[in-house]
Amino acid sequence: MPHGTWRNGFHLMPPTGWLNDPNGLCQLGGTYHVFHQYSPDWPAPSAPRGWGHFASDDLVHWRAVGDGFAIAPDTPDEASGAYSGCAVPVEGGVRIYYTGNVKEAGDFDYVRDGRRSVQILVESPDGCQMGEKNVLLRNADYPAFCTRHVRDPKVWREGDTWWMILGARDVDDRGLVLVLRSDDGLRWENAGTVRPAEPFGYMWECPDRVELEGREWLSFCPQGMQGLPWANGIRDQAGYVPVAAGSRVSEGAVVDAGAFRRWDCGFDFYAPQTFVDESGRTILIAWMGLPEADFESAPDGMAWCHCLTVPREVTAGAGGALLQRPVAELEALRGARHELAAGGTLELAEHRADVLLAGAGRAGSLVLDDALAISWEDGTVRLTFADDRVGCGRDERAASVDAVRDLRVLVDSSAVEVFVNGGELALATRWFPRSERLTLVQRGQALLHIWEMGDGMAGTY
C-alpha cells in the first residue's frame, strides 16, 4: 500500500519528520493554536527538536503555520532541544513557557550530572510572531533534592498570583511535581511539591492541572511503571489523580497514587495537555505515540512519524473519574451516512469513518479490514490485532467498565480512537492498513451508524 494512504485526514501529523508531545495549547482571539514537539529532519541521527505549529478557527480544519520550527532550539540554553511547555493567553497576546534541554559532552549519567534544564519564556502578540527568549529558571533555582531532570512547565493564574508546576525526579529516584509561585509570571520562587504518599515511578513528566466544577485533578506521566500489572510492560504511562476535596495543587497536595487512572488504555497515548477555550470547555490533546515501546512507530520508508489525538472535551464524571469525548465540531466532517446491521459488512472507499453503536449489548465486535477487532464482552473492551503487518508489533489491549452501553470509533487512515460509554473509557492506537478500501464487519446485535469522514487537513501541506 502506498505510504500516502496512511496520511491522516483529521488527526494532526507532520508534513515530514517526527512529531510528539502537544505543547502550548490555547485559543487566542478565536483562533486555536496547537504547537508540538517537532524534528523535521527525522530520521537523520541527532535531528534537532523544536516546536511545530498548527492553527484552526474551528478545531476541525487546520493550517500549518510556517514551514519549519515555530520555536527553534537556537540558543545555548536549548542546544539539545526546545522541549515541552504551555501557553497562557494574556492581555495583548500569549506567554509561552517551555524547557530548554542541554546535554553536556562527557561521561555523564545525565540524571545527576551532565544535563541542564532551563525554563524559558517567549511572548507573542498573536501566537505566530515570537519575541525574544528569556531564561527564567536554571538548575540552581530548583530544590536541592532534585536531580537534573526537571521539565515541562504548566502555568496558570489564580487572581493576581501565577503558579507553575514542573515534572521532576528526586535524588532517591522518585517522581514528583514542583510547585512555584510568582507575582508577575517572570520571577519565580519555590512553593512546595506534590508527591504521592508512596513512591510511584522514578520521574513524572508533563504535569497538568485540571479544574472542573470547583475540584482539581493532577495529570502527569509517570516513568518506571512497566512492572505494574496494568501497564502491559510499558515504562511510560499517562493518567490523573483527583486532588482531595478542599485541597489545591498550588498548596502542595499529597495525592493518592492508588487512585491513578489512565487517560487512555490503548497502544498509543502519551503526554496529554489540556487547556480551557474561550467558551469555557476543557479540551485535551495527546501524542499518539510513546517514548519507548516494543512496537513500531512507523513502517520502513515513511518520511513522517506520529500524530496527535483528536481534541477531546473533558468533563467530570462519577467517583473522581474524568470523561473524554471528541469535540462536537468534528461532526462537521461527517459525510455520507450508512447503517450496518448485525452480521453485516460495509466497504468504504477510504479509511476515514465515524462509527456510532448505541445499545451495544453484552457482547459483540467491530472488525476493521479483518485486521483489527474492537470487541466487548461482559464489560471488557479489547483492541486485538490479527495481522502483525497492520499492527506493526501491537497485539492486544484490554480495559473494563461496568457494562458497555455505547461505543464510538473514529477511523482516520493510520489512527483509530475508541470511546466507550460517552467517554468513560478511551483506547487509541496507530495502525497501518494494507488494503486500499476500509471494510467494516459488525458481529454484534445492535445497529451501527457510520459516517464517511472528510479531510480537515486538506491543503495543509
In the predicted model, residues of the chain with pLDDT beneath 50 are 1-2
Regarding whether 232 and 86 lie in a shared domain, the answer is yes
Strand order of the β-sheet with 189-196 is 146-158, 161-170, 175-182, 189-196, 254-255
Regarding whether 381 and 252 lie in a shared domain, the answer is no
Angle at 262 between CA 50 and CA 174, to 5 degrees: 70
Regarding whether 350 and 227 lie in a shared domain, the answer is no
* Predicted local confidence at residue 2, as pLDDT: 46
Regarding whether 82 and 161 lie in a shared domain, the answer is yes
List residues bridging with 437 in a β-sheet: none
The CA distance from 270 to 114, in Å, is 26
Grid coordinates belonging to 418: 475508541
Regarding whether 289 and 352 lie in a shared domain, the answer is no
Regarding whether 348 and 307 lie in a shared domain, the answer is no
Regarding whether 317 and 428 lie in a shared domain, the answer is no
* Predicted local confidence at residue 359, as pLDDT: 83
Regarding whether 129 and 40 lie in a shared domain, the answer is yes
Cβ distance 404 to 376 under 8 Å?
A: yes
Identity of the residue numbered 152: D
Backbone angles phi, psi at 257, to 5 degrees: -65, -25
Domain that holds residue 294: 11-326
The CA distance from 155 to 84, in Å, is 12
Q: For the domain that residue 44 is a member of, what is the CATH number?
A: 2.115.10.20
Strand order of the β-sheet with 62-64 is 62-64, 50-56, 31-39, 17-28, 304-305
Regarding whether 301 and 377 lie in a shared domain, the answer is no
Identity of the residue numbered 338: H
Choose the catalytic residue: 21, 170, 208, 354: 21
Regarding whether 373 and 310 lie in a shared domain, the answer is no
pLDDT in tens, 420-443: 999 999 999 999 999 999 999 998
Question: What percent of the residues of the chain are helix, what percent strand, and what percent coil, each to the nearest 5?
Answer: 5, 50, 45
Q: Which of 291, 326, 361 finishes a domain? A: 326
The CA distance from 206 to 181, in Å, is 18
* Predicted local confidence at residue 115, as pLDDT: 97
pLDDT in tens, 52-66: 999 999 999 999 998
For residue 356, tell me if it sits in a domain: yes
* Predicted local confidence at residue 276, as pLDDT: 98
Cβ distance 350 to 400 under 8 Å?
A: no
Q: In the Cβ-directed half-sphere of 424, how many Cα atoms lie within 13 Å?
A: 18
Identify whether 21 is a catalytic site residue: yes
Cβ distance 335 to 454 under 8 Å?
A: yes
Regarding whether 203 and 179 lie in a shared domain, the answer is yes
* Predicted local confidence at residue 446, as pLDDT: 80
Q: For the domain that residue 429 is a member of, what is the CATH number?
A: 2.60.120.560
The CA distance from 164 to 134, in Å, is 16
Q: Which of 302, 326, 350 finishes a domain? A: 326
3-state SS, residue 371: coil
* Predicted local confidence at residue 4, as pLDDT: 64
Residues composing the chain: 461
Give the count of domains, the chain. 2
The CA distance from 334 to 353, in Å, is 8
For residue 71, tell me if it sits in a domain: yes
3-state SS, residue 387: coil
Secondary structure letter of residue 308 according to DSSP: B
For residue 437, tell me if it sits in a domain: yes
For residue 459, tell me if it sits in a domain: no
For residue 342, tell me if it sits in a domain: yes
Q: Which of 326, 356, 379 finishes a domain? A: 326
DSSP character string of 289-331:
S-SS-SS-SS-TT-SEE--BPPPEEEEE-GGG-EEEEE-GGGG
Regarding whether 400 and 290 lie in a shared domain, the answer is no
For residue 276, tell me if it sits in a domain: yes
For residue 4, tell me if it sits in a domain: no
Secondary structure letter of residue 391 according to DSSP: H
pTM: 0.97
For residue 460, tell me if it sits in a domain: no
